[in-house]
Structure 1
């Protein structure tokens, strides 16, 4: 019996040690990630939102660009927010916010305008019938002409939209690549679409022309997968000259070119239209190598 006890004690000790070892391993593995509460706090602080003002929230574990992330979506009474937060470091890899009230108000205004238009048509029709029957001149024309005043434009400029986007992103223009500002229509109103790259992030903004309100803000993490180890990017003019050198006789008036970032790789993409032919190309923004060259005939 004593021999049996002697055999059991070592086995019991080994079992306990193994259990402790596994528990420590699991704790270390879990401890390598920030907590869900910490991720939510990071998102709230970045959005300048108090947790008590959050109407609903959804948090899921996901993987983006090879990184384990917390995907967080939450709503306040007037905005929707989307965040991807690195589970290991707590870094914000993506943030997007959308103004909900502006979209709802624009839909209401559109419906209101439709109803007003319908009422106006009916009133005018009745007025015309009365005028025909009584042969009495209408005063509606005078009222209409007196109220037709030319509206004063209060739209912000592209430069202002750019400064609003850069200020929100906390990025200086000198560190920005591939800046684009285009006229657009978002949330039922005229807007500027502003997009650019800074570091390993792509930023996209929709900014209301009427008052400079940010209707949408999007920040996405992207790896820089350019093959070159050089830190210097060739200029847009240099890329243009590389493309034009392949089409004899073509000039800068025949080419369209823009800096793009696809799958973490910076490239100059564009096309040349010359002598009834269309040339499409992609050029590595660091090495100047032509990655794509296609030629099509223009009928």
Structure 2
């Protein structure tokens, strides 16, 4: 907990409190007044430091070895670093882990061992195969909820104890984030910028939201790519997007062929039907 003591000291220094430097009582008063703004924070940190250093607290919290084991049970990688920190009023271990060349940051409750957060794109890990909602389902649920838009990117993370898909969606030239629960498909968050664009589109009469559809089975991105390449006779896929147009989900696939000619193939995301070339 030496670090926490340093934090408390740094807070005082950052507030202009050079203890022992003041040359007069007046200077000391000025220094003290400058510390008032940070006093509540400093007291809170000091209280946490003292609590974390009590014998009973030390005995009740998990060891670094136990926490490393918990993280590696999720991703069997290499633990690079472990730190003990206070976050949102509770003591957590921050574990930095490397798995198949990628870095992931775990926040683990120091007492219960609960994994609170995992920062890093978990789509590149076995966890992506374990969550209940697939990538395709999450994309479709987001577009169903918005009734329009194009998926530009998607990541899987763990936030506040649950796995969440974070999608980047583009609507009428505006990019924004949408969060989908990877367990039950609930829409957890839509960025304000997207809400504003949807409101403007609706005002123009082009964005009236349709009743939610029953989620249908959708072909995968890889299946769509194979269909497109077979259709045009081969090439290199430069880009692929999932969109919703006129109530239908489609893949737009851009392919570069040997003659340096770019070909766009549009495929029905449910049937695999070629809609245009």
Give the TM-score normalised by the residue count of structure 1. Answer: 0.28
Give the TM-score normalised by the residue count of structure 2. Answer: 0.30
Larger Rg belongs to:
1
